[in-house]
Amino acid sequence: MRGQRAGALNPTELRVMKGLWARGRLSARELHQAVGEPAGWSYSTTRTNLRRMEAKGFVRRDTFHRLQLYEACVSRAAGLARLVRDFADRVLEVEDVPVASMFAGTTALSQSELAELEKLVARESSPRRKRRGRRP
């Protein structure tokens, strides 16, 4: 599955990504303390989730002084856009959801994240990408 574009984040993956988006690069232990323990996960569950997310391309693992650090490969804006599109497709059965408008007037995303979201939406709405049905 490595190298393939993954779909929307599931609730567990979203929890992990929120931890990485908020704190940046973390070791598995740090991420477990920040995200896993409050969720009631064992340390091995946190590690398993990280391995699966790495295989899906959501996170990247680097070694620094023998410490394995994880960081998000999907930006917050792109992750949220995937969730909104997935919800629109599966629940609302709507194909062309105006993702950017859902965040207009809120503080949910920073200005740079809104700019990135607008780029993702523009790229997604190009005629070539619509024919292929791909998502960011």
Segment 40-84, tens digit of pLDDT: 999 999 999 999 999 999 999 999 888 899 999 988 877 877 777
Asked whether residue 6 is domain-assigned, the answer is: no
CATH number of the domain that 56 lies in?
A: 1.10.10.10
Indicate the residue among 72, 96, 114 that finishes a domain: 72
Domain annotation covers residue 91: yes
More confident residue, 57 or 131: 57
Q: Which of 55, 72, 89 is the last residue of a domain?
A: 72
- Within this chain, do residues 49 and 100 fall inside the same structural domain, yes or no? no
56 shares its domain with 93: no
Task: Say yes or no: 95 and 123 in one domain.
Answer: yes
- How many domains are there within the chain? 2
> How confident is the model at residue 97, as a pLDDT?
58
15 lies in the same domain as 68? yes
Asked if residue 89 belongs to a domain, the reply is yes
Would you say residue 28 has pLDDT above 70? yes
Q: Within this chain, do residues 25 and 61 fall inside the same structural domain, yes or no? A: yes
Please report which helix (H) or strand (E) contains residue 86, including its range: helix 76-87
Pick the residue with more confidence: 102 or 129?
Answer: 102
- The Cβ of residue 72 has, within 10 Å, a number of other Cβ atoms equal to 22
Please indicate, yes or no, if residue 4 is contained in any of the structural domains.
Answer: no
Pair 46, 35: CB distance under 8 Å: yes
For 99-124, the pLDDT digits (tens) are 556 666 666 667 777 677 667 666 65
| pLDDT score of 121 | 62
Check whether residue 53 and residue 80 sit in a common domain. no
pLDDT of 125 > 60? The answer is: no
**Three-state SS at 3:** coil
Average pLDDT, the chain: 78
Structural domain that includes position 109: 76-127
Cβ–Cβ under 8 Å, residues 97 and 84: yes
Residue 4 has pLDDT above 50, yes or no: no
Give yes or no: residues 88 and 61 share one domain: no
| pLDDT the model gives residue 111 | 73
Domain co-membership, 23 together with 58: yes
Which tops the pLDDT comparison, 11 or 83?
11
- 29 or 121, which is more confident? 29
